[in-house]
Amino acid sequence: MPAFPNRLPLPRLVPGPRPLSASGRPNSGHPPEASGRLGSPIGRGECRAEGGERRPPLSAPPLRRARRLQASSTILIVAWLFGSAAGYALQSVWVPIVISGLSVLASVFVLRRLLARRLGRGGEGLASPLEGARRVGAYDLLEPLGRGGMGEVWRAWDRRLERPVAVKLLRPREGASRIGRSAARRFEREALVTASLGSLHTIRLHDFGVAEDGTLYYVMEKLEGCDLATFVTEFGPMSSARVAHVLRQVLDSLGEAHARGLVHRDIKPANLFLSHRAGSLDHVTVLDFGLVQVGHGAEALGSTAAGTFHGTPAFVAPEQASDGEVDGRADLYALGCVAYFLLTGCFVFTAPTPVQVALKHVREEPEPPSRRIHAPIDPDLEALVMGLLRKDPALRPQDAASALRLLDATALPRWEGADARRWWSGREPIALPEAA
């Protein structure tokens, strides 16, 4: 069980803006994350309370088409009546005929436009559930979920398969007519890398395309839940067994990525999403491969210029912050920072500026998590976390499989579905999956 009580009951967890406290200000349950990073990725999937039951799409396509036809018929009848009244008043038989003819032409024009929208340009599929929504390809953009230096993410609706999705967009910079070549190449690489991964704990990508205005986009599965940063803000630190459950799932995703020579470079709580999925109440999904490095060494795709680094200072490995060579062990260091945060609700290091935070990761030794919180922490798990936080990459577990073996060697009890069900009971009114 978490060391902190549930401070803000969430009626329903869906991606959206950070929840507000009773004062109406953003909740400050944990220190603000140090920022100032280059190529800042999008923070997405934060919790939002939303009362009421699940709602179906706003309207079904057949109902909309019937309403449009009914509206056109009403216009025709009203025009005929108006023309007849005008003709009677002017004692002329031509007035109602002319007005009726014009109304028929107008109705035909409206119906043709509706039919064109129904079929879509290039056969994009059924009409959307929301009139007037912005569109890219076959997707209606309904609500922004996050925005950052490398694009924006929207809650969207797939008109062809009639399902909710998330769409990430990369638009031309303000004042520019098109997207820069390097930014477009990086965005495409992010989509290709994400689509190539098959772990159940990596976000799934459905589609990639270019909108008519030149906007690049890719389409992802829509997850219901919240990221781990928001979870700790709302509920406090996790128990040791639950943290181990989270780490196993993240290591599954990273293991596949590292085996293909991919380094995420931005593992942090905001990029780890906790959802109810496929009968699992605590399913973790790794998000945002926007800073991924492909390969190792100076020639690696996505490597940075000398004197700079990509990532989040509160979760950056020493070699990543000091312009050293980065491989999968940097992700494992960041995962150690995540585990530290989940166990304590605190960052490994804090400082007034992002640069000072990064320097502490390079120079200072972390304090053990058990000294930061008055709650029991499993000693074997604490030893693993401190091992992941070693400054020298050669002294850390050398890959995700090694870290997973060390995790399985602990005496921690497994966090089972019954434990998750018991914990979530009373906190989440969404219908829980039936127990097996």
Q: Which are the catalytic amino acids?
A: 266
Main-chain phi, psi angles of 414, to 5 degrees:
-70, 140
Dihedral over Cα of 219, 221, 222, 226: its sign: negative
User: Cα–Cα distance between 81 and 92 in angstroms, integer?
Assistant: 14
User: Cα–Cα distance between 379 and 75 in angstroms, integer?
Assistant: 76
Query: What distance separates the 2 farthest-apart alpha carbons in the chain?
Result: 100
User: Cα–Cα distance between 263 and 278 in angstroms, integer?
Assistant: 27
Q: How far, CA to CA in Å, does 426 sit from each of 22, 245, 246, 271?
A: 20, 21, 22, 26
Q: How far, CA to CA in Å, does 191 sit from each of 45, 74, 209, 223, 416?
A: 18, 48, 10, 18, 33
Q: Give SS3 for 338.
A: helix
DSSP 149: T
**Cβ within 8 Å of residue 75, ≥6 positions away:** 103, 106, 107, 110
Strand extents, DSSP E, 103-172:
134-136, 139-148, 151-158, 163-170
Q: How far, CA to CA in Å, does 313 sit from each of 32, 33, 236?
A: 12, 8, 22
What's at 239, amino acid-wise? S
User: Cα–Cα distance between 220 and 269 in angstroms, integer?
Assistant: 19
Radius of gyration of the chain from its Cα atoms, rounded to whole angstroms: 27
The DSSP bridge partners found for residue 251 are none
Task: Name the residue among 340, 341, 320, 339 with its Cα closest to residue 330.
Answer: 320
User: Cα–Cα distance between 309 and 313 in angstroms, integer?
Assistant: 10
Q: How many residues does the chain have?
A: 436
Contact assessment for residue 272 and residue 287, using Cβ atoms and an 8 Å cutoff: yes
Element (H, E) at 196: helix 181-196
